[in-house]
C-alpha cells in the first residue's frame, strides 16, 4: 500500500512539473530542501549578471546585499551587488548563510593563492600520468628480470601516490584559507 502511495505521489509530482514547467517547480523544492541542510562556502559557480555576462568564480561569502568571489581565470577577488545578478543566481545565493564580508584580501595574495593552486593541480595531473606509465612499465617487466627493477617501479608509484595525497591536503588548505 505504501508503495502505491509513493508511486501515486511521484506521478502527481511529475504531472505538476510538466504542467507548470520544471523551471518554476525546481526553486520551490530547492528552497524546502535548503531549509533542512543549508549549504556552505566556498562553492564554484558560473555567475550571470542582468545583462547576460558570465564569469566562472569561487564564491567565498555573502552579505544581505553583496557577494564576495574570486574569479577562476586569474584569482582576482571582487565584491559584487547581489541585485545586479540574474534571478537564478540571486535565488542560488539566498540559500547560503550571510556573514559580514569585511575588507577584501590583497589582490597579490589572492593571485598567489590561485597560481599556487594551479601549479599543484598541474603537478597532481602529471603525477597521475607518471603513475599510469609506470604501471604499464611494471606490466611489461619480464619475469626473468631482476626483482629490484619491479621494486624500484613500485617504490616510484608509492612515492608518487604519497605526493598526490600531500597535494590534495595542500589544495584543501588553500580552499580553507580562501574561504576565510
Q: Report the CATH superfamily, name and number, of domain 38-104.
A: SLA1 homology domain 1 (2.30.30.700)
Domain extent listing, the chain: 1-37, 38-104, 107-179
The beta-strand segments (E) located in the chain are 43-48, 54-62, 66-71, 77-81
Q: How far apart are CA 76 and CA 108, in angstroms?
A: 8
User: How confident is the model over 108-115, as a mean pLDDT?
Assistant: 66
| pLDDT score at 21 | 57
* Residue 84 CB contacts under 8 Å (≥ 6 apart), including other chains: 49, 50
The predicted model gives 99-128 an average pLDDT of 74
Q: Which residues fall within 8 angstroms of residue 179, CB to CB, at 6 or more apart? A: 41, 42, 60, 61
Judged against a pLDDT cut of 70, whether residue 91 lies above it is answered with yes
Across residues 145-165, what is the average pLDDT? 80
The residues, any chain, with a CB within 8 Å of residue 61's CB and separated by 6 or more, are 41, 67, 68, 99, 101, 179
Three cell numbers at 147? 626483482
Say if residues 42 and 59 touch (Cβ distance below 8 Å). Answer: yes
Domain 107-179 classification at class level: mainly alpha
**% pLDDT > 70, the chain:** 65
- Those residues whose C-beta lies under 8 Å from the C-beta of residue 135, and which sit 6 or more positions away, are 157
Amino acid at each position: 500500500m505504501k508503495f502505491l502511495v509513493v508511486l501515486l505521489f511521484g506521478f502527481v509530482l511529475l504531472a505538476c512539473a510538466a504542467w507548470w514547467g520544471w523551471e518554476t517547480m525546481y526553486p520551490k523544492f530547492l528552497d524546502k530542501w535548503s531549509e533542512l541542510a543549508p549549504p556552505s562556502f566556498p562553492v564554484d559557480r558560473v555567475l550571470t549578471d542582468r545583462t547576460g555576462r558570465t564569469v566562472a568564480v569561487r564564491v567565498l561569502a555573502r552579505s544581505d546585499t553583496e557577494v564576495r568571489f574570486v574569479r577562476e581565470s586569474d584569482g582576482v577577488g571582487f565584491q559584487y551587488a547581489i541585485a545586479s545578478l540574474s534571478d537564478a543566481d540571486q535565488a542560488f545565493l539566498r540559500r547560503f548563510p550571510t556573514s559580514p564580508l569585511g575588507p577584501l584580501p590583497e589582490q597579490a595574495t589572492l593571485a598567489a593563492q590561485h597560481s599556487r593552486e594551479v601549479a599543484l593541480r598541474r603537478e597532481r595531473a602529471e603525477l597521475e600520468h607518471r603513475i599510469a606509465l609506470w604501471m604499464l612499465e611494471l606490466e611489461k617487466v619480464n619475469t626473468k628480470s631482476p626483482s629490484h627493477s619491479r621494486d624500484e617501479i613500485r617504490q616510484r608509484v608509492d612515492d608518487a601516490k604519497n605526493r598526490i595525497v600531500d597535494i590534495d591536503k595542500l589544495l584543501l588548505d588553500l580552499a580553507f584559507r580562501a574561504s576565510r
